[in-house]
Homo-oligomer: A and B are copies of this chain.
Amino acid sequence: MAGALKKDRATGSANAITADLVAVLVAVTEGEPKIMTIANDGALPSGPFEFAHRSLQTGLRAWVEAQTGHPLGYVEQLYTFADRGRAGDAKSPHSISISYLGLTREDKVGQGFEAHWSGWYEYFPWEDQRAGLPASLAKTLASRLRAWAKSAENTGLQRQRWQRAAITFGLDDREWNEELVLQRYELLYEAGLIPEAVRDGAAATTVIPGKPMTGDHRRILATGIARLRAKIKYRPVVFELMPAEFTLLQLQRSVEALAGRLLHKQNFRRLIEQQQLVEETGAIAADTVGRPAKLFRFRHGVLAERAIAGTKLPLSRT
């Protein structure tokens, strides 16, 4: 039956490649999103998929524990990358990167590892819009993007470039869309405005703030942030990042930290409560300014009760 397949298949190891497993491991501490980094904050935890690994996830867990001492909890696959020329050195062997998103808490850090928690906005300063953009960054960013658009050959292409920049970065009175993390990074890469682009051969220009990473790790990080920002809207994944008990404001601050935007307090609470995602513990927060808040815990039951998925189709009842 699969004859047609078999004869096309790899014979021996002519098409053998290596696969790297890469983890975007996220935590939120005191209202700041953090990611686990190694190699002097220049890389994400990663390692090759080996024959000994029973599955991709198993391999990933092994590497992350070995490099960071941190056990992996919630994990989901992100994307598989393989473009050459993005890997740092073009002569690298045929290698692909299979990336994962992991959610956890910052506690229980292992000792004796060269892993650190780094703020993710160090790598993507423009993604933090909670206090608006730092005035300096906002100005340089927009002018650099305009210069890039202008540098296109013809006016058609120029307009096209600017439209793309305006949409992804919310310029020209457009709305900021926090989910377009990857699109923004890709655009900056194409425009040669980040160190990785220069490293990979782009014309050397003045570069925009934001720490670079090895290989395509910052691109993978962008993918992870984008996925997480999209997912918190329709799945209760924030709770993987919260302590067992928390106040509603702490919950809100965490979501705001991830989304990079401020939320409307009253409406946020209404949303959480009507979805019955949390229940009161009975206890009350201590050591606070202002009126003390009730403590809540996540209702794990909801995960089993509902198969949460919003339909946006105008279904018919007949």
Binding site for B on A (CB under 8 A): 1-5, 8-10, 13-19, 38-40, 42-43, 46-51, 54-56, 63, 67, 77, 79-80, 82-84, 94, 96, 98, 114, 163, 167-168, 174, 177-180, 183, 214, 230, 232-234, 255, 259, 261-265, 267-268, 270-271, 304, 306-307, 309, 311-318
Instruction: With both chains docked as a complex, state the minimum distance between the C-beta of A276 and any C-beta of chain B, in angstroms.
Output: 16
Closest to A269 in B: B314
Instruction: With both chains docked as a complex, state the minimum distance between the C-beta of A213 and any C-beta of chain B, in angstroms.
Output: 10
Please indicate which of the listed interface residues A174, A267, A271, A314 has the most CB atoms of chain B within 10 Å of its own CB: A314
A315 and B5 form a contact (CB under 8 A): no
How far apart sit A2 and B39, CA to CA, in the bound complex (Å)?
6
Instruction: With both chains docked as a complex, state the minimum distance between the C-beta of A157 and any C-beta of chain B, in angstroms.
Output: 13
- How many identical subunits does the complex contain? 2
Instruction: With both chains docked as a complex, state the minimum distance between the C-beta of A286 and any C-beta of chain B, in angstroms.
Output: 28
The answer to whether A314 and B39 touch (CB under 8 A), given A10-B48, A48-B15, is no
16 example contacts (A-B, Cβ-Cβ < 8 A) are as follows A1-B40, A1-B42, A8-B47, A8-B63, A14-B50, A17-B17, A17-B18, A56-B82, A163-B304, A167-B304, A174-B307, A233-B312, A264-B314, A264-B316, A267-B314, A270-B314
How far apart sit A233 and B65, CA to CA, in the bound complex (Å)?
38
Please indicate which of the listed interface residues A16, A47, A79, A265 has the most CB atoms of chain B within 10 Å of its own CB: A16
13 further A-B contacts with Cβ under 8 Å, apart from A15-B50, A167-B306, A262-B318, are A4-B39, A4-B43, A8-B48, A8-B67, A9-B48, A56-B82, A163-B304, A168-B307, A180-B309, A230-B309, A255-B313, A261-B316, A263-B316
Q: Please give, as numbers and ranges, the residues of chain B lying within 8 Å of A9 by CB-CB distance.
A: 47-48
How far apart sit A56 and B96, CA to CA, in the bound complex (Å)?
9
B49 and A17 form a contact (CB under 8 A): yes
Q: Please give, as numbers and ranges, the residues of chain B lying within 8 Å of A84 by CB-CB distance.
A: 54-55
B43 and A2 form a contact (CB under 8 A): yes
B179 and A309 form a contact (CB under 8 A): yes
How far apart sit A96 and B10, CA to CA, in the bound complex (Å)?
13
Please indicate which of the listed interface residues A50, A96, A262, A267 has the most CB atoms of chain B within 10 Å of its own CB: A96
Instruction: With both chains docked as a complex, state the minimum distance between the C-beta of A266 and any C-beta of chain B, in angstroms.
Output: 8
A15 and B15 form a contact (CB under 8 A): no
Closest to A81 in B: B56
